[in-house]
Structure 1
């Protein structure tokens, strides 16, 4: 019997099988007629669901489940996976735990209004939109209606060789108190950053297992773009990393991001550049890119060196070297 009484309260349960899936649970009803109706509705729902394609089934998935599945199947192995999950969960707080098929153009416009209304700037809004594009694409749902907002290109701060020399000298040659005892280590860090173009996190996380002094290469396995790459070491970088290698040390730099940022803030103040908001540690990466381009290195090589996701990211630096345009004008004079 597919519907039967069970328990002291005489609640009717249903027991049936559809496409090999057995269902045994309470109908919540106390009469057989009502229980049979619940059973019929559930059978019909399961038969309809069974006829759906994987894409159609995914379309009915609530955002909460879609986010968890995307994390488990895609984001958890990425460096910024947890951040992507948190962003998606914040979106769910704003638009509700709706089916992912409902994340249409109107919902995205609403999301943008809510984000901008809370004071979030364009670049951050784009991170939310990019996360939702990834989620929808992962579940094979339409995502083309999500268009990133155009971002204004900010100033690319490049340090002169004199500025880099001053930074290193202040960190290494100044007599520091106990609170600044790690500043000479930051001086080594600055030299490595400006000669490799690595992100701060990449150098701080770098281990000696990933440094090959025979081939003169540094291997970066985990990074923002999830694209492993190898970087040649300059003589200066090779010497610094080799000198810093002590017995039992697994990595060259033992300081944290906060200590490095603290040292940089002190340097900026000593150089009278407190008002220069672009004078940050990340500017050393811009400096590397600019130096490479100034020496005639092509954009695709610079892209691979820095580990940019696309050539468009690298093209930001192309305008910083007008010499090629001057040369092109001379060609036209011939």
Structure 2
């Protein structure tokens, strides 16, 4: 799902209306959406928008209208008619959240191969209102996230997934998303992101961490306090913060630190055990040597006694 908004500082309602309607006529069936507009005749629609724009107080660079686009990716598992009906309800939900009291008029465009989308013309002030209403970037982001969540909840069969609600830096760019749809290939940023996620989860020590980085043709770098990763094949660099993986990296670092601390604690005990074994070995070795000496001494003594009692020795004594 993609949601775009373009503000216009010129009251060219006719130009936008004609563009929307012309695109809708390129395919069978014209789908129209309107809210707080009480006619479907071109001249009267334009008159309502223009007269309403005269009510708000003009300032330098005042916005007269918004051109907004709501787009869903096509899916093969749902008929085109059902996708069109779903998109109409999605637009209805968006307008209720975004511009409940504004003038809204739009047309569905269904001529693209990979998506179906609605073009909307939205007045910058509410119907009969004297104040120019402007959504802040935060408010607009919140409206987009709400719509994506709402769509996935009420129309899971459309398989729109998470794009807008992904963490900052983790979202796939529009060009990347289109590349994936056309070719099935994963965008480079997404490949790096998934590889690092797997590395952070599976690495329990520094050796594993660097070994897995090397296998994925990645290397870590720092610039000041910022941490990033470089693709050694393409030469492209990706900041950890931009990738949205700071928490995962911190968790892995903590795990490695705990593992190192654990190994340090075990080292003295291991050394003591090794020393004890060595002492036991030396003791056993010394005991064996001592036992061998005793045995040899006994043998020598036994031999001497045997020689003293032999017949040859007795003859020598009598002589």
Q: Looking at both structures, which has the greater relative contact order when contacts are Cα pairs under 8 Å and sequence separation is at least 6?
A: 2
User: Larger Cα Rg: Structure 1 or Structure 2?
Assistant: 2
TM-score normalised by the shorter chain: which range applies? under 0.3
Q: Point out the structure with the larger strand share.
A: 2
